[in-house]
Amino acid sequence: MVFTEGERSSYLVGLCNKYGDFKVAKGFVRGDKKTFTKRKNVLELWQSDEGMKFLGVANCRQILNSEIILDMDEDASEKRMNDICDELDSYGFLYKAYFSGSKGYHIHILENALIKYSHVSRQKIRGFLISKFKCDPHMASDNVLIALEDTEHFKTGQPKTLLRESR
Amino acid sequence: MSEALKRLVFELDDPDGVAEYKRINAVLDMKFFSDELLKEIHLELDKRHKLDHKEKLGVFIVAISSYLKDPKDHCSCALKGNSSAGKDSCVDTVLSHIPKDDWIKVTRATTATLEDDVKDKRIIAFSEINKNRERGANAEIVETFKQMAEGGTTTLKKDAKTGFKTAIRTDQEQKTLIYGTTETESDEELETRYVIIPITGYKEKNKIVISDTLKKARDVSYYLAKTIDEESWIATSISLLDKDCYIILPFTDVLDKEVSGKEIFDTTKDRVKRDVKRIISLTRAITWLYQKQRVTKTINNVTFIYAEPSDFLNALIIFSDFINLTYSGIDHRLQRLLDYAKENIGNHCADISNLGFEDHYCNWILRHKAQQDLGISSVNTIKRWIAELKDKDKIDVYYNAMITNKAFLFRPINSPISSLAIPVKVKEIDSVLTDWLNSKEAKEIYEGKEIAPYVLDFVDYDKETRTFSDENDMSRLTGSNLVVEEEFICDDEAKNEVSKFDYQKVLTVEKEDKNE
């Protein structure tokens, strides 16, 4: 499934409503370089028609404060993704595992209580889980952009597709 | 919070993360919804520090005043007592029930660090400050300490980061300071800024503390409990209470009038102004603790909590003795000596005559007998106390080596000035406040809420604290200055008849330190 522009903006507004404000951007390839538009807050964009239009074409978003993302760019395989998901199930985490649309897999873990932690502790908690599964350590930060779910990847044009959900 | 995240946080084993987890998941203890909250807190404090009931609860309320929104309400206290009387233990016990991040206790600090590095702390505690002793502990910081306790500090210093080319200004609001001292000399400036809480030692106290130490020495569960670093329910709940609120005392109009023909606050001394402000601030601290049970109103986005008369009465019950003692300007140990002198006029007559003094010295007191009766181990101590009382014009002294070089006489001087800051009894204030509570004004303020006053009455839970058993009371209160009240203690029937306020008074009479 790939979002239409309308669905995409509704999805982002819904996320903002549920988990708090975050930034979005549109990524594209210029020459052989990845480039991004200026990051904009969903809350701000939401207030104007022009902003809603931008939400409809945004293809990257900031990690949510209540989110941990395991990015398996290196050594990515569906088997490894499933192994990680099995372990996440044993923890009891709520997650969605996607094919990123590019090289690897993204596992989005949503944990509402994470938002109550300080910025520093949140990074430590994310960092701990990321290092446990040997995923991309950059994803521990609050400021990283990630490809938007159910949207074509700006480099490959392939959609980020849901493969597995928590039990 | 999900179990998964909890598991992750504990696997991470980061102390800050675990502390944050505890903070996030902290729940206000149900005792904060009980009108017996002060009693519950007292019982909790009693687990670690035996006896000194009003004293430890007093230090706790002073510490709580640091959470009041208006910095001017932040009170400070000094614990005065002899070495090993239990000052440090009392402070440590209280601080163990205050959130860790909010206080710092040190044995020594420099003026500069006090001015620059304790901004984030609400309470600063010192083990010992002895100003009047030569090279006394922390004597050099007394002035800064005074400023911090009254009005806060503003300092201007050259900035080392810019090579001393620019200056930095540091502002610190009024803080709550707690310190212990063994000195009997008083500094008026210090005493008007601090609630002076006397800590005394005596035989039964030593016995209870020793028994407790021996019990712990054989108790495995005591050491097991020590390994669990759990924050107390009081500290956890304090961190969850609303700190962004002002406390209103709607009944103060009543306190401005005379009760039983007397003003509630004695106005003969200037320092009463500070004492009244202090008792109001301490009342606010009690109301703040009871905030979950008090009427709260929000006006223009500012939250006001309305105190109830029982908050004021409890503040009086805990603090009036301390404030009255400080108001008299005499240390509790000197007061004891003075009381002894007053009560023994004429009792030393025979000895005085035998030593060869003329008859008109019959009503004087022999120093060595006073020393013996009060159990003061060192003659230098009683000499120093007598010199201090003489300086304050509280006693006359007489010594004549021509008659005998073995006796030194002194006698009390009657002072016509009232030495009580709050000369009216709590019972009388209670009665006028109860009348006010039935007024239309009170009903409007409390919006028809039924007010069920809880006035502290240590007697009603004597078994839980094991302190007010007859045995302890009898041995503690056999001083000659307790002639009137003694019968209340000895006679159970009489004890039931006497009002709780009178009994309160009996329980806090300062007593003998035989282990000086």
CA distance B379 to B435: 53
Residue B214 CA, distance from chain mean position: 28
CA distance B266 to A62: 66
Is A91–B14 a contact, with Cβ atoms under 8 angstroms apart?
A: no
- Does the structure's ipTM exceed the value 0.90? no
CA distance A154 to B218: 71
| Nearest CB partner across the interface for A113, out of B2, B12, B17 | B2
CA distance B285 to B77: 14
Print the SS3 string covering B138-158: CHHHHHHHHHHHCCCEEEEEE
The DSSP 8-state label assigned to residue B180 in this structure reads E
List of chain A residues whose C-beta atoms are within 8 Å of the C-beta of residue B101: none
List of chain A residues whose C-beta atoms are within 8 Å of the C-beta of residue B16: 120-121, 124
Q: For chain B, what is the mean pLDDT?
A: 78
CA distance B484 to B347: 18
- Whether the full predicted model's pTM is greater than 0.90, yes or no, is no
CA distance B78 to B147: 15
Are the C-beta atoms of A56 and A10 separated by less than 8 Å? no
pLDDT at B320 over 50: yes
pLDDT at B468: 37
Least confident stretch, B290-299, B361-370, B449-458? B449-458
Mutation site, A84, A87, A94, A117, interface B, largest B CB count within 10 A: A117
CA angle at residue B487 from B481 to B493, to 5 degrees?
155
Distance from CA of B374 to the nearest CA of A (A): 59
Better-scored residue on pLDDT, B391 or A109:
A109
List of chain A residues whose C-beta atoms are within 8 Å of the C-beta of residue B27: none
| Nearest CB partner across the interface for A113, out of B5, B12, B17 | B5
Distance from CA of A90 to the nearest CA of B (A): 9
pLDDT at A90 over 60: yes
Cα nearest neighbour of A90 on chain B: B4
pLDDT digits (tens, 9 = 90+) for B174-194: 889 898 887 766 666 666 678
Distance from CA of A93 to the nearest CA of B (A): 6
Fold that domain A63-165 belongs to in CATH = DNA primase, PRIM domain (3.90.920)
For B249, B297, B300, B449, the CA distances from B303, given in Å and listed in that order, are 14, 6, 8, 18
Task: Identify the H or E element spanning A63.
Answer: none
pLDDT at B230 over 50: yes
List of chain A residues whose C-beta atoms are within 8 Å of the C-beta of residue B12: 124-125, 128
Q: Which of residues 3-62 of B touch A (CB under 8 A)?
A: 3-5, 7-9, 11-12, 14, 16-17, 20, 24
| Nearest CB partner across the interface for B4, out of A93, A118, A124 | A93
Is B11–A121 a contact, with Cβ atoms under 8 angstroms apart?
A: no
Least confident stretch, A157-161, B169-173, B348-352? B169-173
Beta strands in B294-432 (DSSP E): 296-299, 302-306, 365-366, 395-398, 409-412
pLDDT at A16 over 90: yes
Q: B117 at the A interface (CB within 8 A)?
A: no
Distance from CA of B237 to the nearest CA of A (A): 18
pLDDT at B459: 61
The label of the residue with tokens 């233990």 reads B89
Is A121–B16 a contact, with Cβ atoms under 8 angstroms apart?
A: yes
Quick one: which of B58, B93, B90 has its CA closest to B77?
B58
Cβ-proximal residues to B337 (8 Å cutoff; 6+ apart), any chain: B370, B374, B382, B385, B386, B389
Is A91–B12 a contact, with Cβ atoms under 8 angstroms apart?
A: no
Count how many pairs of residues, chain A against chain B, have C-beta atoms within 8 Å.
44
Taking residues B166-171, what's their average pLDDT? 78
CA distance B213 to B211: 5
| DSSP reduced 3-state for A30 | strand
Are the C-beta atoms of B302 and B246 separated by less than 8 Å? yes
The DSSP 8-state label assigned to residue B248 in this structure reads E
- As given in the structure block, the two tokens for residue B338 are 């003075």
Cβ-proximal residues to A15 (8 Å cutoff; 6+ apart), any chain: A22, A42, A61, A64
Better-scored residue on pLDDT, B501 or B71:
B71
Indicate the pairing of strand A161-165 with strand A94-99. Answer: antiparallel
Dihedral sign computed on CA atoms, order B477, B479, B482, B485: positive
**Confidence band, pLDDT 50/70/90 cuts, at residue B133:** low
Domain parsing of chain A, residue ranges: 5-61, 63-165
Cα nearest neighbour of B16 on chain A: A121
pLDDT at A131: 92
Is A121–B20 a contact, with Cβ atoms under 8 angstroms apart?
A: yes
User: In A, what residues contact B, Cβ < 8 A?
Assistant: 91-94, 111-114, 116-118, 120-121, 124-125, 128-129
Amino acid at B26: A
List of chain A residues whose C-beta atoms are within 8 Å of the C-beta of residue B24: 113, 116-117
CA distance B32 to B97: 14
| Nearest CB partner across the interface for B12, out of A116, A118, A128 | A128
Q: How many CB atoms lie within 10 A of CB B254?
A: 19
List of chain B residues whose C-beta atoms are within 8 Å of the C-beta of residue A125: 5, 8-9, 12, 17
Cβ-proximal residues to B136 (8 Å cutoff; 6+ apart), any chain: B129, B130, B183
